């Protein structure tokens, strides 16, 4: 059951929006605004789920997702990509990098919550 979520996005507006949505639905949320911050947060405590943006300064979300999927300690944490990149090729690429699901922004909040609740 998902209780703790790490939200990785460089947009403060998007962080605030998703944090409020997740908090209202009973989830504990930590945030990171780039890959380096995400790695620091992961070292502190493993979340049950990572919601990952793609377009960020430094390492992008596709690369970070791939690195996490291959990491011995973090590879079991599911990643959902939430991105403004809305081409089918972006979705396929994100899933190939190790993401479990791919949502385009603005995120359909009911669908996102349903997919989170469906996780074991």
Q: What is the pLDDT of residues 18-61, one digit of tens each?
A: 999 999 999 999 999 999 999 999 999 999 999 999 999 999 99
Question: Alpha-carbon dihedral of residues 39, 70, 19, 91, nearest 10 degrees?
Answer: 130
d(CA 47, CA 31): 11
Mean pLDDT of 103-115: 97
pLDDT tens for 55-78 read 999 999 999 999 999 999 999 999
In a domain, 66, yes or no: no
DSSP-based three-state secondary structure for 11: coil
Nearest to 86 by CA among 98, 104, 65, 108: 104
CA distance linking residue 8 with residue 120, whole number of Å: 21
Range of the domain at 80: 1-50+73-86+97-105
The answer, as to whether pTM is greater than 0.85, is yes
Mean pLDDT of all residues in 76-92: 97
In a domain, 118, yes or no: no
pLDDT above 90 covers a percentage of the chain that reads 98
Token pair listed for 15: 């962080």
Prior bond to 106 cis, omega within 30? yes
How far CA 54 is from CA of 1, 28, 86, 102, in Å, comes to 25, 22, 11, 10
Q: Classify strands 79-83 and 4-8 as parallel, antiparallel or unpaired.
A: unpaired
- pLDDT class of 87 with cuts at 50, 70, 90: very high
The CATH number linked to 30 is 3.40.50.2300
| Domain membership flag for residue 92 | no
φ and ψ of 83, to 5 deg: -140, 155
Confidence (pLDDT) at 109 = 96
Q: Is residue 28 part of a domain?
A: yes
Number of domains in the chain: 1
């Amino acid at each position: 059951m998902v209780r703790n979520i790490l939200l990785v996005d460089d947009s403060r507006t998007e962080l605030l929006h998703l944090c409020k949505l997740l908090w209202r639905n009973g989830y504990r949320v930590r945030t990171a605004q780039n890959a380096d911050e995400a790695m620091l947060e992961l070292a502190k405590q493993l979340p049950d789920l990572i919601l990952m943006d793609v377009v960020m300064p430094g390492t992008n979300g596709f690369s970070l997702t791939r690195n996490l999927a291959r990491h011995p300690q973090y590879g079991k944490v599911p990643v959902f990509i939430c991105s403004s990149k809305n081409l089918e090729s972006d979705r396929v690429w994100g899933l190939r990098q190790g993401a479990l699901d791919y949502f385009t922004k603005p995120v359909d909040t009911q669908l996102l919550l349903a997919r989170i609740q469906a996780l074991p």
